[in-house]
Amino acid sequence: MKAILLARVSSREQEEGQSIPAQVRRLTEYALRKNLTIEETAQLTESSTKETRKQFDSLIATIKKSKETIALVTDTVDRLQRSFRETPLLDELRKQGKIELHFLREGLVVSKESNSAQLLQWDIGVLFASSYVRQHGDNVKRSIEQGLHNGKWYSKAPFGYKNTRLSNNEKTIEIDQEEAPYVIKMFQLYATGTHSFQTIVNEMNKLGQTNTRDNRIITSRVETILKNPFYCGIMRVKGKLYKHIYAPLIPESLFNLVQDIRVGRKKAPVHFVSKPILLRGLIRCKNCECTVSGDIKKQKYTYYSCNNSKGICRRKWIREEKILTPLLGCLDKLYLSDQQIQDMVEFLTKAYTKDQVHFKQAQESLKRELNHLQKRISKLIDMHLDGEIDSDTYHMKLEEYKQRQRTITTEIKTYDESPDATIITAKTVLDLARRSKDIFMSSKLNQKQQLLRCIFSNLKLDDEKLLVELHEPFLSMTKYTDQPVWWS
C-alpha cells in the first residue's frame, strides 16, 4: 500500500528545532516495518487550529485523486488534527476506502473496516488534542488577565496617549503632549453643559487640531473620547474595568460629571417580564431559517411556531411536549455505565502516561530554544552598540525575539501542568452526560436552557419534526453508549 508520511509543526520556530526531522525518522521506520511504499513525505508548518489549512487541503486533494487507498501515517492524532472540524472529511474518505489513518503513538489504525470502538478511540484522541488547545488558550488568557489586573494596556494607546518603549525596551504608554490638551479641553467644554459633540468639533478646529486622516476630530471620535474612562485612570476591557498604571489626563470627578450630562437625567427603569419559554432562541425553522418562537396558551400550554418574519412559511403551532420528546431521547442515549466511564478515564490516564516522555522532550527543546534566543539577544545588543545595525533594525529584531521568548515561556508552563486537570474535566463531562436527563428534569428554567445549549447545536424545526444535532463530545457518546466494552 502506498503511504504519505505527515510531519507537522505549528510554527517556523519549532521547525528550526528537530521536531520535523524527528517525526520523519519515526514515520519512515514505521512505514518500513509495515511494508508500506512511501509515496510522499509531507512536512507541514501550520497550525491545526486555523480555519484555513492550505498545506493540509493540498494533501487531502492528492489523496482524493489517488485511485488506490493511501495510508496517511502521522506521529499522533494531534499532528493531524486538534479539533473535530476535519473529522467529517477524513471519515468520509475512510468510508470510501480512499484513506487509512495510522497513528504511531496511539498504536491505532483507522480504516474502512474499523469497528466502532476503534472509531471512538480516534474521537477520544481528537478530544484529548482539542482539550490541550483549550488549556493552552486558557493559559494565554490568564496571562493577559493578570496583566490587566496589574494595570497594563495591551492595545493601541487611545487619542491623547502614545505607545513608547522604556530604556529597558519594555513597552509602555505615555501622554502625547500634542494631543493631550485637546482631550482635556473636550472634557472641560462638555462639562459646562452648553456644548454638543458637533460644537466641540468646531472648537477643536478653531484651536488648530491637526486634521489628519488618523487623528482628525469628528463627532463620533468626540463621543468615543468622552465615554472612555482611560483618561481618568481606568481602562475598560470587554465590559470590565481595571485601574491602569499610566498617568491620567483628567480627574475622575470631571469624567463622572461628563457622563451624567451625556446620559441626561436618570429614567425610571422599564420592567419587561418575559414569558417563561424554555426553548426561546434555541430553534430555527428549516424552511426559512427564521427563529422559532414560543407562546403560552390558556396560561399553561406552551406552543412553538416559525415566526415567519420572511413571509414564506405557514404558521403552525406545535406543543412543547412534542418538541421535547427527541431531545429527551438524546439525553437517554447519553447514559454511561460505571464501567464505561472507568474504561474511558483509564484510557485517558494511559494516554497521558505515554505522552509524558514526549512532553518532557518538547519542554527540553523549548528550553534550548529559549537559551538560544537569549544568546541571540546578547549578540544583537553587542551589534547595536558596535554600530553594526541601526536603531530601527535593533528594536524590530529585539521585539521579535522577546515576543518569541514570551510565547515559549507560556508553552513551557503548559507542560508543567498536572494531567489531573484534564482527567477531572473528562470525569466531569462524562458524569454530566450520564446525569443530563435527571439534571434537566430537576432544574429551573434558566438551568435547563444552559444545559440544552451545552449539549445541543443547530436545532431546526422541519414542519412538526425537530432535527437534532449535538456538540462534541456528546455526539460521539451517543454512538457508543450501548457498547459493553468501549474499545477492543
> Are 167 and 241 members of one domain?
yes
> Are 110 and 185 members of one domain?
no
Answer yes or no: is 249 within a domain.
yes
Stretch 9-28: mean pLDDT: 69
Answer yes or no: is 63 within a domain.
yes
Position 488 scores a pLDDT of: 41
- Reading the block at residue 386, the C-alpha cell is 558596535
Distance separating alpha carbons of residues 112 and 469, to the nearest angstrom: 24
Q: Which residue has the cell 525596551?
A: 169
> Are 174 and 256 members of one domain?
yes
CATH code where residue 92 lies: 3.40.50.1390
Where would I find the H helices in 69-194? 77-80, 87-95, 116-149, 180-191
Task: Answer whether residue 18 shows pLDDT above 60.
Answer: no
Task: Answer whether residue 227 shows pLDDT above 90.
Answer: yes
CATH code where residue 228 lies: 3.90.1750.20
> Are 176 and 109 members of one domain?
no
Answer yes or no: is 374 within a domain.
no
Answer yes or no: is 285 within a domain.
no
Stretch 62-85: mean pLDDT: 89
Domains of the chain: total:
2
Residue-by-residue DSSP string for 183-194: HHHHHHHHHTT-
> Are 166 and 227 members of one domain?
yes
Q: How much of the chain exceeds pLDDT 90, in percent?
A: 27
The CA distances from residue 253 to 154, 167, 169, 291, 365, in Å, are: 26, 34, 34, 46, 53
> Are 70 and 168 members of one domain?
no
Lowest mean pLDDT across 15-24, 299-308, 334-343, 374-383: 15-24
> Are 257 and 169 members of one domain?
yes
> Are 108 and 168 members of one domain?
no
Distance separating alpha carbons of residues 3 and 26, to the nearest angstrom: 14
Task: Answer whether residue 478 shows pLDDT above 90.
Answer: no
- DSSP code for 291: B
From 213, 242, 263, the end of a domain falls on: 263
Stretch 381-409: mean pLDDT: 85
- Could you tell me which residues are beta bridge partners of residue 470? 456
* C-alpha torsion sign, points 79, 82, 87, 89: negative
From 56, 87, 114, the end of a domain falls on: 114
Full residue range of the structural domain in which residue 63 is found: 2-114
- For residue range 92-131, what is the model confidence (pLDDT) as tens digits? 999 999 999 999 988 899 999 999 888 888 988 888 877 7
From 232, 263, 294, the end of a domain falls on: 263
Answer yes or no: is 311 within a domain.
no
* C-alpha torsion sign, points 33, 61, 7, 102: negative
Answer yes or no: is 132 within a domain.
no
Answer yes or no: is 248 within a domain.
yes
Sequence letter at residue 70:
I
Read off the pLDDT band of 166 (50, 70, 90): confident
Answer yes or no: is 227 within a domain.
yes
